[in-house]
Amino acid sequence: MITNLDELARSLTTGAAPFAFCGIAVSRAGQRSFAVSSDRDVTPDTFWRAASISKIVVGRVAQALFGDGDATVEEALGQPFVAPAGEKPTVAQLASHQSGIWDNGGYLVPPDVRLSDWLDEAGTAIWSDAPPGQQLIYSNLGYLILAACCERASGLPLSDLANTYVFEPHRLSAGFNWIGVPESVSVLPTYRRDKDGVLQPQIDAPPVKPDMTTYQIGESTARLSPQGGLRLSLNGALTLAESLSDGPNDRLWVDDAPAGPLFQHYGWGVQLYDTPAFYPRPLIGHFANAYGFCGGVWHDPTAKISFAYGLNGLAEGDEADGLRPEEIAIFDAVAQTA
């Protein structure tokens, strides 16, 4: 198994426009295999920004705190949160990207701005035309607000909640925006390849932790970047993939006629596929794509395989949400291990 994955990883970090890093990890029947290739000093334990893989952790925290998620976001936040037509989305709708919130009005809240003040300033710009519960509209802002709901409900920062409900139970070394990650770990910045073919660091060169001394519960949540700021290693990503076999994997959004290949069903921070277009069996997990990184964390319940992958160093201007040929090659290689 590892030989083929090794060859594939090496092929993706050599050639005319190589990635800065390719990592593939597979776990089956208690046996773990890692394929890592890079011209940099990296191992399966090197930490990197995991982008939207972060949503798995936030979703699991939210499910633990809110159960079925029937509480309204307004109740969870303790402040008005009403769609323009008067509807009040629930926490479950927020977690499954069907709250009516979208990213068109922005979602990068400055670290020194209170979330409530930012939302007041944004006004109706955060709302799409879709009423809550009617349409899946993927939203990073929605997961920032979801994390703030978790903090308000518990009185604890997301960093502590993630430790309690996800990291410690699964013996996973990880942290949001480096909070809780040992300073001694090896770090790989996130890169983009510029027009001259040179890899330019985008994030984590060097790592910077947010100021937690002035952190306000439910207001400073953006400092932890819950929508995409998780840092972990390929080893940790595989552990997170393995944890998906335990559930809960409730389907909060079920689409009987998916609009595209990347979304079929959505749960508490996980994408769920009965018939994925890119893999021969059902899958549970989440894709990631940001700042030149793309990857994913997945569990195949039929073959009882868990796997994770990361590619670092997409070209400048490559913002496509669809799967790239290199990712499809990884899914094909993993599928053949069963």
pLDDT at 1 over 60: no
CATH number at residue 21: 3.40.710.10
6-57 pLDDT, tens digit per residue, is 999 999 998 767 899 999 999 998 899 999 999 999 999 999 999 999 999 9
pLDDT at 259 over 70: no
Strands 253-254 and 31-38: unpaired
pLDDT of residue 262: 76
Residue with tokens 């939203």: 139
Q: Is 262 exposed, middle or buried (0-12, 13-18, 19+ CB in 10 A)?
A: middle
Total structural domains within the chain: 1
Strands 190-193 and 199-203: antiparallel
161-209 pLDDT, tens digit per residue, is 999 999 999 999 999 999 999 999 999 999 999 999 999 999 999 999 9
117-147 pLDDT, tens digit per residue, is 999 999 999 999 999 999 999 999 999 999 9
Weakest-pLDDT range from 94-103, 111-120, 329-338: 329-338
202-211 pLDDT, tens digit per residue, is 999 999 999 9
The residue type of 167 is F
CA separation for the pair 308, 147 (Å, rounded)? 24
Range of the domain at 36: 2-335
Q: What is the DSSP string of 75-131?
A: HHHTS----TTS---BHHHHHTT-SSB-STT-----TTS-HHHHHHHHGGGGB-SSP
pLDDT of residue 308: 98
CA separation for the pair 281, 303 (Å, rounded)? 8
268: region left, alpha or beta (phi > 0 left; psi from -120 to 50 alpha): beta
Cα dist. 242→104, 128, 246, 265 in Å?
Answer: 34, 35, 8, 20
